[in-house]
Amino acid sequence: MSELPNTAELDDNHLDKLRQHFAQRVSHQAQMLLEAWIRLNRSEWNSEALAELEQGCERLAKSAQRFEQGEHAELAEQLHNLFAQVRDNRNRPNSGQIQQLHSLMQQLSKIGMRLLDDQGPVLRPGARKPVYVCLQDQERAERIVQQLKFFGMRAQALDKPSSFQQAITDRHPSLLMMDVDFGGPSLGLSLAQHIQDSRPDRLPIVFYSPEAPDTRTQLAAVRAGGQALLSGNIDPARLLEKLDALTCQTLEEPYRVLIVDDSRAQAMFTEQALNGVGILTYALTEPLKVMDALRNFSPDLIILDMYMPECMGPELARMIRQHERYVSTPIIFLSAEDDLDKQLVAMGEGGDDFLTKPIRPRHLVTTVRHRADRARTLKQRMVCDSLTGLYNHTHTLQLLEDALHRAQQNGEPVSFAMLDIDFFKKINDSHGHPAGDRVIKSLALFLKQRLRRTDSIGRYGGEEFAVIMPDTDSTAALHVLDEIRRRFSDIHHPVPSGEIISTFSAGVATSYDGNDLSAQQLCSFADEALYQAKHGGRNQVCCHTHRGD
């Protein structure tokens, strides 16, 4: 006869479920606040948006206090006080306040990334809103939903227009995948257009057509707000790449602008214009100190005055360009000089743009944003692998050195993992190199979906990957990577002859308590653990933990 469950155990289980429920509610409010902050930084800062954020902080603080979520409560209170200070200053933040707000939002994001996932505390939670998949072919829809779930996305297949209408009434999706003929010829396009017309903002939509669409269908899809139109057999990795790009909410660092102008009044005007839209600035009125400012501030862009007592702006630009680190940093001249020939000479000395004083703040902000964004994009392409979008070998090692330095300062562990796709040569030989590339891209996307944003992922070379996991001990790293390994082995990858399943092996090494390990040593330890996993039968994760002497 089985024993009855202990009442105290039942009460504890009930309390644990209640705590998790309350934590989810607070996390949901925090996520809404983060999304509002991201929207603000992608558009113009205004009093209405700032007021919305201030109210959101107040709501989060009250909920977090009520449900005993101390970290959320403390951060929300600090954010609320900062937004109140900005409001009292006529909604004009200074550079220090922007820095503090962004730092607190980063901390809030970090808390949300390390909880509430049923596969472990350090796995990144999936998208808060679901993806709706509306296809005529229900078997295909269910297969896509299953594949998206493997990649960590919440997805739901809907079989007819009435089901879709009910679902979207109950809950708006993060993205919609819609068959152009869902419910009948071209009805999917009409249904999507109706949904877009009834919303204040545009819903991201990926359309699907079993056959190659004609030009009229493509045009109708664009008019209905389609971000892409896929056809034929759908590669899950390609689909996920598109969905991830459309639904990704990233907390980006604010642009950093160094202002060099001997006039304090002009420098303050430029600072206020840029600070007012969330751009960090550092104003320098002594141009000969520019190299120290560059090293300490690491700007995305430099604004130079043309005429200064100690040196000319073009001379300063020429000196800056002689340092390899700043060759690609955009330089904008801001001067009252209106002689076109002199402007062109200045540009020839290393400038990227020339703005004439007096200048409208909006014109200044738009120019700075476009230049800084382009510079960041180019830099990102320089440090990333072209096939996967992950960091390349060289940059991964630089990031590992940075992570070890921070870990040593904070006395925290940092784990480093090397992953290798099993029998990859056999995949290439049997199914061709395009199939091998698809498997590589699938694993890259899977890692990006399943790991935290604070983790760094690189393509180490060929079919080998590297993962840097700050503030993560060997037990947590092993748990996360083993869960990823297990779930990745469930994914079906399309090849010309049908579908294949792929696996990977991994080796993990961990630096503890700030011990003096170099990046090269940690790489060597992870490589030894990977060797152990490969020779132990593959499709497994092994650890090599180094705790010092």
pLDDT tens per residue, range 201-232: 788 899 999 989 999 999 999 999 898 899 88
Q: Are 501 and 485 in contact (CB under 8 A)?
A: no
Q: Does the structure show a pLDDT above 60 at 122?
A: no
SS3 513: coil
**Angle at alpha carbon of residue 370, lines to 366 and 375, rounded to 5°:** 150
Q: Who wins on pLDDT, 147 or 363?
A: 363
pLDDT bin (cut points 50, 70, 90) of residue 26 is: confident
Least confident span in 392-401, 455-464, 539-548? 539-548
pLDDT for position 112 = 59
Any residues with CB less than 8 A from the CB of 117 and at least 6 apart, and which?
123, 124, 125, 126
Determine the pLDDT at residue 389.
87
Is the pLDDT reported for residue 250 higher than 70? no
pLDDT value for 148: 80
Residue 13: the pLDDT is: 61
Residue spans per domain, the chain: 19-113, 131-247, 256-379, 393-546
pLDDT band at 12 (very low <50, low <70, confident <90, very high): low
Q: Who's near 198: CB < 8 A, 6+ residues apart?
A: none
CATH number of 256-379: 3.40.50.2300
Locate 198 and state its tokens: 């009834």
Going by the DSSP 8-state scheme, the letter that residue 497 receives in this structure is: T
Q: What is the pLDDT of residue 358?
A: 87
Using an 8 Å Cβ cutoff, are 204 and 227 in contact? yes
Please give the Cα distance from 127 to 133 (Å, whole number). 15
Q: How many CB atoms lie within 10 A of CB 102?
A: 18
Interval 147-152 mean pLDDT = 74
Q: Which CATH architecture has domain 131-247?
A: 3-Layer(aba) Sandwich (3.40)
- CA angle (482 as vertex; 477, 486 as ends), nearest 5: 155
Q: With 70 as the cut, is the pLDDT of residue 249 above it?
A: no
What was the pLDDT predicted at 202?
80
> For position 174, what pLDDT does the model report?
83
Question: Which residues, 6+ apart, have CB-to-CB distance to 412 below 8 Å?
Answer: 406, 470, 471, 514
Q: Confidence band (pLDDT; 50, 70, 90) for 259?
A: very high
Task: Examine the pLDDT at 99 and tell me if it is beyond 50.
Answer: yes
* The two three-digit tokens of residue 544, written as one number: 């090599």
Distance of CA 120 to the CA centre of its chain: 20
* 110, pLDDT greater than 80: no
What pLDDT, on the 0 to 100 scale, is given for residue 20? 64
The pLDDT, as a whole number, for residue 528 is 95
- With bands split at pLDDT 50, 70 and 90, how would you rate the model's confidence at 185? very high
The architecture CATH gives domain 393-546: 2-Layer Sandwich (3.30)
Burial string for 49-73 (b: 16+ CB within 10 Å, else e) reads bbebbbebbbebbebbbebebeebb
| Contact in structure between 135 and 208 (CB atoms under 8 Å) | yes
SS3 382: helix
Give the span between the Cα atoms of 383 and 466, in whole angstroms: 14
Measured in whole angstroms, the distance separating CA 486 from the mean position of its chain's CA atoms is: 24
- Cα 40 to Cα 34, 43, 45, 97: the distances in Å are 10, 5, 6, 15
Same topology, domains 131-247 and 256-379? Answer is yes
Cα–Cα distance measured from residue 364 to residue 332, given in angstroms and rounded to the nearest whole number: 10
Q: What is the pLDDT of residue 496?
A: 80
What is the model's pLDDT at position 507? 97
Q: Bridge partners of 209?
A: 231
Q: Residue 420 belongs to what H/E stretch?
A: strand 414-421
Instruction: Tell me what pLDDT residue 67 has.
Output: 81
pLDDT 10s digits, 362-395: 999 999 999 999 988 888 888 899 888 899 999 8
From the list 41, 49, 33, the residue with the least C-alpha distance to 91 is 49
Give backbone dihedrals phi and psi of 514, rounded to 5 degrees, phi first.
70, 25
Above 90 in pLDDT, residue 120? no
Give yes or no for residue 515 having a pLDDT over 90: no
Measured between alpha carbons, how far is 432 from 524 in angstroms, rounded to an integer? 32
Across 56-204, the runs of DSSP E, i.e. the strands, are 131-134, 155-158, 175-179
Higher pLDDT: 278 or 236? It is: 278
Res 123: pLDDT: 34
With beta carbons less than 8 A apart as the criterion, state whether 92 and 86 touch.
yes
- Residues 465-511 pLDDT 10s: 999 999 899 999 999 999 999 989 988 887 888 889 999 999 999 99
Reported as a pLDDT band with limits 50, 70 and 90, residue 396 is very high
Report residue 416 as tokens.
């480093």
pLDDT of residue 516: 74
